[in-house]
Structure formats: C-alpha cells, structure tokens
Copies of this chain bind each other. A is one copy, B any other.
C-alpha cells in the first residue's frame, strides 16, 4: 500500500498519542481476532531475553517509567483512526473498537534498575488478547533500547569505580533516543549528561563546557580561555588539546590560577597525556584541578585508565550504541491464554514449537535467591506462585492494575535500586571479560496458580 507522501512533516511532535508507534501486524491480528471471536480471550504475554549479549554477565532493566507513560498515551484519536481507515489498514468495526481502546489489564515487571538474566520474565502483560497484543511493539521498542543502553552503562560505571562519568553521546544516536539514553545511563550510575532535554524531561543533571570550535573561533587559545573563564568562572573545565597540550595547561593555570576546576583531554594516548598533565598541574600548584578524559571510551578503555591520574570520564558513542549490543534482544511472547472468551475460562500455557527459538509456556514468576552473606546465587523462574526464602527477593512488582498505572517512581529510586542490585551480585558479575551470566537461571514447574 502506498500512502500519500507529504512534503513536510513535524519532526518531533508525534502528537499526544503513541498508538502508531506500532507494527501494522498488531492491527491486522486484532481485526482478524475480533472477527473470529477470539479477541476477548484472556491472555498473558511476557517480555524476556533468550540470552544476554555475548559474554555479558547481567542485564539492566530500564525504560519501565517511559513505558508506563507511553501506555497511558496509547490511544486512537481521530488523527490515528483517519490514517488507519483511509489507508485500508483496518475496517470500520476495528476502528470503532480502537476508538474505545484503553488498556484495562494488569502489568507486572522487574522494577526499573534491577538486574536480569536469560529468560528472566521482566514484564508480564495480562489482559484480553486484543488489548495486550497491541502493546507489543511499543513495549519492545522502549525496553530493548533502554535496557541495552543501561546494561552497557552499568559496566562502564563499575569499570570507572568511583570516578564520575558524563554521558555525552547525543550526537551519535537519534535525537529522541539520545534523551532516553541519558535517562538510562543515569539509572545505571552515570553522574551527568550533556543532553539538555534529558535535564528538562527527567531531571538528569547536565554538564558541558566547550569544544575545539570555541578555541578555533578566537584569535588565540589564550583569548578563548579568557572568554570561558570570564563567562563561567574558574571552576570550569578547559579543553587543552586543540594545539599543544603542555602550552595549553600552562596558559590555563596562568589565567585561572590554582582554583581551575578541570582540564579536558580529548585525543592522544589518554593515559600517557593524563600523567604528563597531572605532573604539570601539580608543578604549577594546581593540585586540585581535575583531569577529565574523553574520546572513544568504552568500558575497556575506562578500565585501562584505572591507574592513570584521571578524575572523570566522558563517554559518548559506546554508551548510546550499547557498547557492541545496541538492542537487548527482548521478545514479547504469548505464554498463556484462556480456552474461551469468559473470564472464568481455564488458562492454557502456549508456546510455539519452531526450530531454534523455543519458548516456555505459562505465566512466570521470578525470585532472586540470596545466600546468608547477602549475595545472590540464582534466578528462579517458576510457572507457579513465587516461593521466596527469608532473604530472597520476589522480582516482579505491580506496574499497572486494572488499567491504572500503579508503578510510577522517581528516577532516583531506580538509580538507587540499581546500585543495590549490582552490589548483591557475586563478584564475577563485574568482570569485563566474556563469560557466563553471573547467575544461573533455574526453572521450577509450579502448581496451578490461583
């Protein structure tokens, strides 16, 4: 089908509805199910990853808060219905059903910031088939993106130990993905972001001082430094690698004095240059002036600088591209559905039998098993009710109940939860080398659920 091709379209403002951020086949299935009488069958869909990206030790749940906002905005207003009907994507009965659509079911999920492992049921969506299938694309888009970024970010945070990391990858990813990336990185422990919209929308602390272009704009590096210091004060960060680093550091301290906040190095062998700059700063009396390094850093680059006199890192490309794993490979699968349309119809576990992509039927719960030292040792996934021991954590929390969003929390809560969730993992979780997931996923067949 060829739609009309508009010459000019709004870039960012997709309207108030998120409903068309959806694969067409969700609507085709809806229409066919409405017609066949199966649309109202109670259904359970689950989001999980069959595996972590190669060699990764854990994944990080992120995007939950964004997903809840997106579900609230998932409705078919006149503009959406006009597009769908004018282009023959749905018939009139389906359009009328969509006009009344609000998700009225229940959603549980791993709390944002928690860790996950292969087959962890990080989201469970329960409702009629019709209302739940429609959320598939949007839920996966948000979770696949945000989990991928947060999972990479967490490794970088732990590679940096207590040194702060600035997220500065906006320019290397889609302009809206940039905002979500800054949010995900903050959950995982990044200190700040360069992205102003992430500051406005989510309250992520922002940071940023100057680029090489600012130095090149001025008649000399000295003029550029003077201009920046006059504008934002001696506590700022001066970029010292536009021409000659040693000369720039000398000029910087001469102009700002020993109270200069920081210098930034963006090129060269960062460890070697940082050592030289540290010695020079100390010799000039600027012992408290910090050194920030940037430039194609990832978790391995950060770890390699562990012994260098570096006070902070800026990370861009590798953060927003998930450091080699730009999507979390999460899937959204029907795992159980009623045998008939009535609320009381018995639920039946379902799973496809295709080669290579097996799924386990039945709605799952999950428990993180914690030993007497407070260290996690297994992820138990069960088709029955969770049976936690005294120290164990039941991992799914209510997010939506009867269509009402009940799982909202602040970003700071998610950030704090992530810190605790990683602290609880065995030490192997923090190894950057390729290996097995830090926890084994154990399956338990439960009895019938109530």
Write out the residue numbers on chain B whose beta carbons fall within 8 Å of the beta carbon of A25. 194, 208-211
Contact with A171, one of B9, B43, B140, B168 (Cβ below 8 angstroms)? B140
A82 to chain B, nearest CB (A): 9
- Smallest CB separation, A233 vs chain B (Å): 11
Residues of B within 8 A of A144 (CB): 171-173
A87 B173 Cβ-Cβ under 8 A: no
Q: Which residues of B contact A307 (CB under 8 A)?
A: none
Chain B's closest residue to A218 (CB) is: B38
Cβ contact of A200, chosen from B83, B218, B352, B357, cutoff 8 A: B83
**Which residues 171-227 in A have Cβ within 8 Å of B in the complex?**
171-180, 192, 194-197, 199-219, 223, 226-227
With a cutoff of 8 Å between Cβ atoms, the chain B residues found around residue A231 in the complex are 28, 31-32, 35-36
Q: How large is the interface on A (under 10, 10 to 19, 20 to 34, 35 or more residues)?
A: 35 or more
The proximity string for A residues 145-183 relative to B, scoring 1 for CB distances below 8 Å and 0 otherwise, is: 100000000000000000000001011111111111000
Q: Report how many copies the assembly holds.
A: 2
> What is the chain B residue whose CB lies nearest that of A357?
B267
Decide: B241 and A73 in contact? CB cutoff 8 A: no
Which segment of A319-327, A386-394, A442-450 sits at the interface? A319-327
Asked if A8 is at the interface (CB within 8 A of a chain B CB), the reply is yes
Q: When A7-B408, A24-B207 are in contact, do A33 and B227 touch as well, CB less than 8 Å?
A: yes
| A283 interface residue (CB < 8 Å to B) | no
Complex: how many Å from CA A353 to CA B243?
5
Q: How far is the CB of A141 from chain B (nearest CB, A)?
A: 4
Q: Is the CB of A342 closer than 8 A to any CB of chain B?
A: no
Q: What are 14 A-B contacts with C-beta separation under 8 Å?
A: A5-B412, A13-B15, A14-B197, A23-B195, A25-B211, A31-B231, A32-B210, A35-B231, A38-B218, A89-B196, A173-B326, A174-B174, A219-B339, A320-B327
Residue numbers of A with Cβ under 8 A of B are: 1-16, 18, 20-29, 31-33, 35-36, 38, 41, 43, 45, 66, 69-70, 73, 79-80, 83-84, 87, 89, 129, 133, 136-138, 140-142, 144-145, 168, 170-180, 192, 194-197, 199-219, 223, 226-228, 230-232, 241-244, 266-268, 317, 320-321, 326-327, 329, 332-334, 337, 339, 350-357, 408-412
